[in-house]
Amino acid sequence: MSLLETDLGAARHWSRVGDGYEVTKKPRNLDRATLPEIAFAAMDAIPQDGTYMPAFALKAPSAIASGTYFERGDLLIGKITPSFENGKQALVQNLDADFGYATTEVIPLHPRTEEHDPRFLFFYLLHPDVRSYVAERMEGSTGRQRVPENVLLDLSIPAFRQQEQRRVADCLEMIQKARAAEMNCERLAQDLKRAAMRALFTKGLRSEAQKDTKIGPVPDSWNVVRLDECAKVVSTRMSYSELEALENEHNEDAISVLGIKVADMNLDGNEIRLQSAFLEKTVARSVVTHRCAPPRTIIFPKRGAAIATNKKRLSTGWTAFDPNVIGVLAGDDLDQDFLFQWFQAFDLRTITEPGPTPQLNKKNLDPLVIPVPPTLEEQREIVAVFDAIDRKIDLHRRKRTVLDELFKALLHKLMTGEIRVADLDLSALEPVKETEVAA
C-alpha cells in the first residue's frame, strides 16, 4: 500500500502541504544592488543525496539575470524532470544574508509558522511514494516536464504536531548524518588508496634506490615489462548469449558459471560474486574449463561509453563474457592480485581507440608497460597493503548501505505512525566523542 493511502488511525489525520507552507515570493521593494554579493544556487549545486545545503556561489547582483528568490529557512525543490525524480532538493539552514537566488527550476517553500519544521517536509518529500505521486502530475512536453506549484501545495502530509515533527526529523537527520560520515570515511580511504598506489608503484616497500624508466621512476630491482610478456588478454569461447540459452546441468560434475555483462562493472566493490543480479548456469566441468574464463580473471569494458567509467573487477568464479567485456590473466611470475591493483591505478581511456564507439582490444592492451617486483613474495606484500585499505573502504560502503536501508524503512514507518521515535534506540549512531577516540 502506498504511503499516501495509509490510514493514520483515529489519533492522526492527513493535512495539505499548503496548510503549513507557502511559496516564497520576492518582495516588490527589494533592492538587490545594496548588496555586494548574493548567494546563488544553480541546479548542479542542489544536492540529491539527502544532505541539506546547496553549494552556493557568490555573484554580483548585476550577474544574476534571472533566478528564483528564496529566503533563509526555505526548502528548495527541483521541479524539472529528472531533477525532481532524482530527489534534488535543499534546505537553506545557514545563509549570511536574509535571501538568495537559485535556478528558475526550483520551487521555494517557506513554513507559515514556527509550528512547522521544514526538515519534516524535506524528509517526507524523499519518500518514493510521494515522489512517484507528484511525478505523475508533472506538466509540460516530454523531457521538459515540471512540477506545478499547486501539486506540491495540495500534496497530502501527515498532520503531526510540532514536537512530533521535530522528533521524527531529528531521528532521520541522525541517520543521514551517520550516512554522510560513512561516505566521508569511504572517500578518505579511497584517497589513501590512491596515495598508496602512487607511492608503492614508484618506490616499493624496500626503500631502495629508484631508476628512471619509460613509465617513470620505479625501484631499482623491479622489472619493467610489456603486458603480453607477463600476462595474457582473454575472451571466452562461450558467449554470454550462449550461456543464457543453455539448460542447467544436473550432475556432480557440473559447476556454476556466471554470465558477465558490461553493466555488471557498475556494482560496488572490487569483486564480481555470485548473486541474483547475474546470469548463472550450471555447466559440465569439461565444457567450462575449455570455454570459460577462470576465477580471479580481471574484467573490464572493451567497447562503448562504459570504458569511460574506468571500472575493473575480479571474478570469483568461472565466467562467460558478453562481447563488450574483456579479461586479463597473469602469468606464473606475476601475482594476479598485484596485476589487478596495478590496473586499478591505470586509466583505460589513455589507450582506447577513438571514434563514435570507443574500442579497447587485445592490440591496445598487449603493449602496455607495467612495473613488476622481482619476487612473488614482494608482490603479495604490496597486495596486502592494498587489501587492508580495500577492506576499510568496503566496511564503510557496507555501513552506508545499511544506513540507507534503515533510513528508507524508518522514513515510511515514522511517517505512518507504525513506529514512534520513543520506541527507537539510535544511540549507536551518535557521534563518537574525541575522548573516546583517543582512548
Q: What is the pLDDT of residue 274?
A: 55
Asked if residue 149 and residue 237 are part of one domain, the reply reads no
In a domain, 214, yes or no: no
* Cβ proximity of 428 and 177 under 8 Å: no
Angle between helix axes 336-344 and 162-203 (nearest 10 degrees) is 110
What distance lies between CA 87 and its chain's CA centroid? 14
**Given this model, what pLDDT does residue 432 score?**
45
Q: pLDDT for 74-131, tens place per residue?
A: 999 999 999 999 999 999 998 888 999 999 999 999 999 999 999 999 999 999 999 9
Residues 361, 382: one domain? no
Q: Report the sign of the C-alpha dihedral through residues 117, 70, 44, 77, in that order.
A: positive
- Cβ-contact 226, 372 below 8 angstroms: no
Q: Convert the pLDDT of each residue in 186-225 to its tens digit.
A: 999 999 999 999 999 999 999 899 999 999 999 999 999 9
Residues 267 and 312 in one domain: yes
User: Would 218 be classed as within a structural domain?
Assistant: no
Q: What distance in Å separates the CA atoms of residue 371 and residue 128, rounded to the nearest whole number? A: 49
My answer on whether 312 and 282 are in the same domain is yes
Virtual torsion, Cα 333, 339, 340, 341, nearest 10 deg: 120
- What is the overall mean pLDDT for the chain? 91
Three-state DSSP at 34 gives helix
Judged on CB neighbours under 10 Å (0-12, 13-18, 19+), 170 is middle
Which residue among 137, 159, 181 closes a domain? Answer: 159
Parent domain of 177: 166-207+375-439
Co-location of 36 and 107 in the same domain? yes
Judgement on whether residues 141 and 23 belong to the same structural domain of the protein: yes
Do 332 and 395 lie in a common domain?
no
Rounded CA gap, 83 and 397, in Å? Answer: 25
Q: Summarize pLDDT for 273-321 with one digit per residue, the tens.
A: 655 568 899 999 999 999 999 999 999 898 888 888 888 889 889 999 9
Q: What is the pLDDT of residues 242-281, one digit of tens each?
A: 999 999 999 889 999 999 888 887 776 777 765 556 889 9
pLDDT of residue 438: 37
CA quadruple 246, 247, 248, 253: dihedral, nearest 10: -70
Q: What is the mean pLDDT of residues 14-31?
A: 94
Whether pLDDT at 431 is above 80: no
Q: Report the C-alpha gap between 400 and 181 in whole angstroms.
A: 9
Written as one string, the DSSP assignment of 150-204 is HHHHT-EEE---HHHHHHHHHHHHHHHHHHHHHHHHHHHHHHHHHHHHHHHHHH-
216 domain residue, yes or no: no
Same domain, residue pair 231 and 291: yes
Same domain membership, residue 233 and residue 118: no
Q: Are residues 236 and 155 in the same domain?
A: no
Query: What is the tally of structural domains in the chain?
Result: 3
- Best CA proximity match to 185, nearest among 408, 400, 406: 400
Assign residue 310 the CATH number of its domain: 3.90.220.20
**CATH code for the domain of 431:** 1.10.287
Tens digits of residue pLDDT in 336-370: 999 999 999 999 989 998 888 888 999 999 999 99
Largest CA distance in the chain: 83
Q: What is the pTM of this model?
A: 0.83
- From the list 285, 286, 284, 234, the residue with the least C-alpha distance to 260 is 234
